Amino acid sequence: MDRHISAPVGRETAEELRAGDYVYITGTIYTARDAAHKRMYETLREGGDLPINIEGQAIYYMGPSPAREGRPIGSAGPTTASRMDKYTPELLDLGMGAMIGKGKRSQEVIDAVVRNKAVYFAAVGGAGALLSKCITSSEIVAYEDLGTEAIRKLTVVNLPVIVVIDSKGNNLYETAVKEYRKYEKNIDDGAPKYNSCSVYVVQALLSCASRR
């Protein structure tokens, strides 16, 4: 199912999403990668406050390349989410609403997603230049000394993602294996037929590419 949602992502919205849904996000999200997560974790250990209000926020695991002239941001593809697994359950318990990355998550993260009625999205890997066209503004709001891994506040319009782990704990990476086995049989002249996910990815990236 195609869904259009606004960010920040509240519990009510997260609970309506299901693994496999194709989602377009519009609104405000934040970036944070390994180094930023480590610093937030250490800050919490020391009894400090996080640099952003984490309640309901969607955190995009991304460190952009330098922006070209006239653009708010450079290439903006997702990084491997498992790098953040150590820090994620605590952030979810503090109210984080969603994560955007790529790849599998640990069982501890999945349990925290379910416990907090959150959601984990995957963005299309290898398409950072096109995804960046869905970003209309970018501002460093914390940890500027970390360079590309600083925390950024982004405004996005129809950023295309896929629900991988929903608030019920359903995991697309598990169900997709079963689905692939079905599609594996759909061979026409030696080439696999396109499935609905393939079509979605193409449509989503064309949508981003059309933005100037």
DSSP 109-144: HHHHHHHHT-EEEE--TT-HHHHGGGEEEEEEEE-G
N- to C-terminal Cα distance for the chain? 27
pLDDT at residue 114 is higher than 80: yes
pLDDT at residue 25 is higher than 80: yes
Give percent of the chain with pLDDT exceeding 70. Answer: 83
165 compared with 127, residue with greater pLDDT = 165
Q: What digits encode the pLDDT tens for the residues 59-101?
A: 999 988 888 888 889 888 899 999 999 999 999 999 999 999 9
* Cα separation, 72 vs 34, whole angstroms: 22
| pLDDT number for residue 186 | 59
Output the pTM of the full model. Answer: 0.84
Q: What digits encode the pLDDT tens for the residues 152-187?
A: 999 999 999 999 999 999 999 888 666 666 665 555
